[in-house]
Amino acid sequence: MTRIPDHPKRLRLVPVSKLASAPKWQLETLRALREPVFFWFTSGQGRITLGGSTRGFHPHNAVYIPPGTMYGFQAMSRVQGVALHMGDPVGLDLPDTPMHLRLRDSTQHAEVAQIIDAIQRELDGGQAYAERAARHQIGLLAIWLERQRSSAGDDSPRGLSSRNANERLTARYTALLEREFGSALNVSDYAQALGVTPTHLTRACRASCGRSALQMLQERRIYEARRMLTDTDVPVQDIARTLGFSTPGYFSRAFSASTGRPPSLYRKARGA
């Protein structure tokens, strides 16, 4: 499929409170980034979906999301913490499966805070080779994550092997969906590729993350459409074709039903 590039990848730390104040569609819609992300929650609570499995998060939870993993989160109270967007993952030797760590030991809290503070100092200090030094700190974070894999507090230390059957199927669906959402494939096509019936696939998705398989497909396409309308000047008819809609008219109707305005007006408002 044709992919419009994401925003330029660069190493950055973003307060979770800032992310949580974004429009609901940017926060909760399942989508994937081209870069690894590490969340460190210090207060508040909410729900996070990783690869199709939804769980609650609380203070002193750490979440690692590899590139290409569909995720979304919902803040249910005042959430504080930091999101570490790692930019280009080449050379970082990070885990290839998502992790959700519930850290109960104050020593673990201190270890995470120390690494995050060191990265922040490098990025804010303005010294030569600051980003290079910060990436070395991410290397230490990668080692720390690997050491936590056997921890009882990790909800998903070994990826798919630790999930139930519904979660494993939903994870396979989200991985396939992230690769192919720009094609004309429908839910029946995805189910066939996964070796199950559409009904079985939808039941698994609802059990794992509270969404039907069709909702997940539609949300992913509309999310990408919003992003392209907001961040690019690609013509509407080309967006429709890129995202697998049979006609620009069908795309416009689907987009309007989801957002309340047609693509042309949405672009004029630039996603407001």
Give 3-59 pLDDT, tens digit per residue: 444 554 789 999 999 988 888 888 999 999 889 999 999 999 999 999 889 999 999
Matching residue, tokens 């922040």: 120
The residue to which tokens 């669906």 are assigned? 173
Structure-model confidence comparison of residues 89 and 110, the more confident one:
110
Within 10 Å of residue 53's Cβ, how many Cβ atoms?
24
Please state which of the four CATH numbers 2.60.120.280, 2.115.10.20, 2.30.110.10, 3.30.530.20 is assigned to the domain occupying 12-160.
Answer: 2.60.120.280
Is the sign of the CA dihedral 15, 17, 21, 24 positive or negative?
positive
Count of other CB atoms within 10 angstroms of residue 223: 19
**How far is the C-alpha of 182 from the C-alpha of 94, rounded, in Å?**
28
Mean pLDDT value across residues 151-168 = 63
Q: Stretch 109-138: mean pLDDT, rounded? A: 95
Number of H-type helices and E-type strands within the chain: 11, 8
Q: Cα–Cα distance between 11 and 89 in angstroms, integer?
A: 10
Please tell me the predicted confidence (pLDDT) of residue 154.
52
Residue 197 confidence (pLDDT) above 80: yes
Residue written as tokens 């020593």? 107
Query: pLDDT of 57-104, one tens digit each?
Result: 999 999 999 999 999 999 988 999 999 999 988 889 999 999 999 999
Are residues 221 and 243 in contact, defined by beta-carbon separation less than 8 angstroms?
yes
Asked whether the predicted pLDDT for residue 159 surpasses 60, the reply is no
Report residue 160's pLDDT band, with 50, 70 and 90 as the boundaries: very low
**Boundaries of every domain in the chain:** 12-160, 164-269
The domain 164-269 having CATH identifier 1.10.10.60: the answer here is yes
pLDDT above 90 coverage of the chain, percent: 78
Average pLDDT over residues 202-223: 95
* Tens digit of each residue's pLDDT (9 = 90 or more) over 234-250: 999 999 999 999 999 99
CA distance 234 to 222: 15
Quote the mean pLDDT of the chain: 90
Average pLDDT (246-272) is: 90
Instruction: State the average pLDDT over residues 192-196.
Output: 98
